[in-house]
Amino acid sequence: MSAIDDLVAELARLPTIGRKSALRLTYHLLKQPAEQSRRLAEALVMLAEKVHPCPRCFNLTEQEVCAICADPRRDATLICVVEEASDIGAIERSGEYRGMYHVLGGRLAPIDGIGPDDLTIAPLVERVRAGGVREVILATNAKLEGEATALYLQQQLAASGVSLSRIARGLPVGGDLEYADGVTIAQSITARRQL
Amino acid sequence: MVTTDALVLHAFDYRETSRIVRLVTRELGIVSAIARGARRPRSKFGAALDLFASGEAQLITTMGRDLHTLNAFETTKSRPALAESLDRFAAAAALAELLLRFAPEQEDPGLLDTVTDALDALTMAPKGAAEPVALGGAWCLVAELGFAPSLDECVACHAAIDSAASVTFQHRAGGVLCGNCARQAPGARTLPPAARDAIRGWLGRHASLPLDGPSLRAHQRLLREFLEEHLTDGGRPLRAVLAWERHEVDA
């Protein structure tokens, strides 16, 4: 197998990259100065060697534990459960949450072969059982699989006695009711709050 | 451009803003389509492309391409109740997998209607009672795909079979065997009269009789073995069907 074939095969393993795109990227790299390819290779090696899941919350980090788990100013009695590490960034950008996180690494998806054992559900249950947690916020996506995952977590954590909550669903801020889809409006009505 | 009734069987994110959906449609059978921009906060698709949602799909099709473009999807019914109990969720995923793996990419209005009926029945199944409803839906889909098992006459010699007797059921042959033929058919299962009645009832779209836990497990195993024998493409495991049978999600 040639070096070109090797790289195409490796790139084609990445999500959303098919063989044609992999070939295009490979030829793009070949047109660039060799130094650029070397920097890319070094960045990939560093990524593989340095970045790992935080042993507490499974966020990605280069330190022993992630910056959020290591921050003493954060509320350790509050855990927000998200599907992916990238969801943490979205919540952090809101500036409204000062608790801890737990990254599941996906959501229950039987069609894709993803079951409870493929997610970090057991470590979450253990973390909650260990004590010191007041509330767990289930912030999985508001899609059917995310809802099922939240239900599964609710059942797994019910015996722990901690308060369980689910993030709210409904109209986006700044959105027009007139243009919202029926499912979203129905959710907004169901999850309405008393003033 | 094709406008057709459709139901979302599978959906996954593609690049930063798009989603790829696999739909069962009235006009085109199973199709894959890209919904560009579906993940944007103010996408025209909104919550329409969630799993098991029914609606009217507007597809831009291109000859010779497997991936079409979903121009619009007007939801007529979403099924959030399928995520309100884990046994319903696991069963619905198993039904979706059955279609995704084995349904052809050609017009078959019966498939859409059958899976729609099955999912609607599942949404109304009492919590903890989804298995018989899903078994009924699965056998109806198998029949719609043209693989309904023979239950009342020997599949090998066509001799009539006593409806009150326990019979030999062989997956490879595609149904029950008479005593003579059964002796030449190793690896078969014995089907008690009640189990045969249950399958006959499901295929006839009658309400399911109550079944105890061991009977349900046996039916799930029988269905999975039948699917594996007749329908599995290339030996890939039926992951959602197995997860449903093993209660991996709703334990």
**Interface subset of B 44-83, CB within 8 angstroms of A:** 45-48, 50-53, 75, 78-80, 82-83
Do A133 and A77 lie in one domain? The reply is yes
* Residue A155 located in a structural domain: yes
What is the percent of chain A where pLDDT is above 90?
82
Residues A130 and A79 in one domain: yes
Question: How far, in Å, CA of B238 to CA of B141, rounded?
Answer: 15
Q: What is the CATH number of the domain that holds A7?
A: 1.10.8.420
Same domain as A85, residue A46: no
Mean pLDDT score of chain A, rounded to an integer? 93
Do both A39 and A79 map to the same domain?
no
CB pairs under 8 A between A and B: 86
Tally of domains within chain A: 2
**Residue A187, SS3 per DSSP:** helix
Question: Is the confidence at residue A10, as pLDDT, over 90?
Answer: yes
Q: How far apart are CA A61 and CA A64, in angstroms?
A: 8
**Is the Cβ–Cβ distance between B187 and B210 less than 8 Å?**
no
Asked if the Cβ–Cβ distance from A110 to B83 is below 8 Å, we say: no
CATH 1.20.1440.120 fits B80-251, yes or no: yes
User: Taking CB atoms and an 8 Å cutoff, what residues of chain A touch B19?
Assistant: none
CATH number at residue A96: 3.40.1360.10
- Residues B239, A113: C-beta atoms closer than 8 Å: yes
Provide, as residue numbers in chain A, all residues whose Cβ is less than 8 Å from the Cβ of B89: 108, 110, 144, 148, 151
B143–chain A Cβ distance below 8 A for any pair: no
Give dist(CA B170, CA B182) in Å, integer. 8
CB B30 within 8 A of CB B100: yes
CB neighbours of A58 closer than 8 A, spacing ≥ 6? A85, A102, A103, A104, A105, A120, A123
- Fold topology of B1-78: OB fold (Dihydrolipoamide Acetyltransferase, E2P) (2.40.50)
- Enter the ipTM: 0.90
Nearest to B136 by CA among B89, B92, B202: B202
**Residue A124: how many CA atoms within 13 Å on its side-chain side?**
33
pTM (predicted TM-score): 0.89
For residue range A141-151, list pLDDT tens digits in order. 999 999 999 99
pLDDT in the model for residue B188: 84
Structural domain boundaries enclosing A9: 3-50
Average pLDDT estimate for A33-41: 95
Is residue A43 in a domain?
A: yes
Mean pLDDT for back-to-back runs of 10 residues, chain B (251 residues):
95 87 94 90 79 95 86 92 94 96 85 96 86 95 93 92 89 91 84 93 82 91 92 80 90 65
Please report the pLDDT score of residue A177 as a whole number.
Answer: 84
The reported pLDDT for the residue numbered B164 is: 86
The residues spanned by each domain of chain B are 1-78, 80-251
Residue B234: the pLDDT is: 67
User: Which of A51-60, A106-115, A170-179, B240-249 shows the lowest per-residue confidence on average (mean pLDDT)?
Assistant: A170-179
CB-nearest partner of A111 from B42, B50, B97: B97
